[in-house]
Amino acid sequence: MEKIVVVGCGSWGTALALTLARKKCYEIHMWEHKKEVAEELQRTRENKLLKGVTLPENIYITSDKENLLKDAKAVIFSIPSQALRSVVSVFADQLRSDLVIVNTGKGLEISSEMRLSEVIKDEILGKYHKNIVVLSGPTHAEEVANDLPTTIVASGQLEKAKIIQEIFNSQKFRVYVNEDMIGVELGGAVKNCIALGAGIADGLKFGDNTKAALITRGIREMIRFGEACGANPKTFNGLSGIGDLIVTCASKHSRNRHVGEKLGQGKTLKEILEEMEMVAEGVPTVKAVHKKAEKLNVSMPITEAVYKILYEDKKATEMVEYLMSRELKEEF
């Protein structure tokens, strides 16, 4: 069997490992940086973040990084955005010209405002950068882990993206390809900012009209920001744009919507994050996107409002008033 390495044993990394394992033609090696966690996963065959799902025998969990990527066809990084750089550095010397490098995280690095593929490229000093592929789309780990029908986009140099398409595609996990890596990555990042806003609206007990407005105007922000960064605007009409935005704004599984809802109910960000087991990527991403949008002079009023609630202690009701009383204009 061909060897695939998944770096990161969170819910998404585990769900992707399960997807590959079910094809029964791969040997999946998962890396967890905490030795005790890796040993527990290997022993119990269950990730507590995905309760009720058993890890099959062709998944192996380890905390040993030595020669981990040897003979592997692909390495999949499933790491929170702000930790990606440090984790990639651990494995940089094991990368090869024939190894496809896949990133599945969604966000921007706050310190550099880089997309995550750029972070990887920067950390490996540009070596093998043409081997980098991004996986993104409307894909909640809980549903993928339970083998529910899902679609996703592989983006990068077409030859490499098609390799990942073939590796992951199955009857329950359909993979498309798109060469616009900038658009695919920015769609996955910005949708988390808008989802926080949708959650805030839920917390304030607003209705479906509000949610529809946030999603629709959120798409406009995504397109404006994407175009300013060099993306193809058509990309945002696809799975990694409006598709991911819809599921993240509406789903009970969405961590970002959950954080927003609690903010709308009056909880502080500190209180919310202390109660959570998993990372809500929108929280750091809002800061990075807001910072970059200001530099590019891109109008993103929803993202700006969410930023002010998160980082300037503005009240949610005050920001709703700000959004609804802005200068009147044409829709497009």
Q: Which of 213, 196, 151, 199 minimizes the C-alpha distance to 178?
A: 151
CB 155 within 8 A of CB 105: no
Q: Which of 22, 33, 34 minimizes the C-alpha distance to 58?
A: 22
Sequence-distant (6+) residues with CB within 8 A of 19 are 144, 168, 170, 172, 173
Query: In a 10 Å sphere around its CB, with 0-12 CB exposed, 13-18 middle and 19+ buried, how is residue 225 labelled?
Result: buried
Determine the length of the chain: 332
Residue 140 tokens read as 């909640």
Residue 283 tokens read as 């929280």
DSSP string, 253-303: T-HHHHHHHHHHTT--HHHHHHH-SS--THHHHHHHHHHHHHHHT---HHH
CB 73 within 8 A of CB 2: yes
Q: Which residues are catalytic?
A: 191
φ/ψ bin of 29: left (φ > 0), alpha (ψ from -120 to 50), beta (otherwise): beta
